[in-house]
Amino acid sequence: AQSVTQLGSHVSVSEGALVLLRCNYSSSVPPYLFWYVQYPNQGLQLLLKYTTGATLVKGINGFEAEFKKSETSFHLTKPSAHMSDAAEYFCAVRGNNNDMRFGAGTRLTVKP
């Protein structure tokens, strides 16, 4: 069965610093991987997704993620954090029934 593990439940960075949120996956088939963002009291919004092809995926708001099969990783990065990036981020993998399997989430805090 497919699953993801997010490393670090809380990450704190200074404004302008690099953002790195870690996600490792487990899948017996080539995975479809996703990052979602959740702002307070809202639903989840898709940041980016990897299906096939280019392993570096660019998403909205300047985020990108790189699929590394050898490391079973799909880490999310942004070169320069902005205060508006403060939110909870979820990594997810598509399951066999077209369902989405989510990680536990990483809360990103951005300090001024």
- Binding positions for other proteins, rule: CB under 8 A: 6, 9, 32, 34, 36, 41-46, 49, 51, 90, 94, 97-105
Length, in residues, of the chain: 112
Distances (CA, A) of 93 to 64, 110, 111, 112: 16, 26, 30, 33
User: What is the per-residue DSSP string for 34-103?
Assistant: EEEEE-TTS-EEEEEEE-SS-SEEE-GGG-EEEEEGGGTEEEEEESS--GGG-EEEEEEEE-TTS-EEE-
Q: Which residues contact 70 (CB under 8 A, 6 or more apart)?
A: none
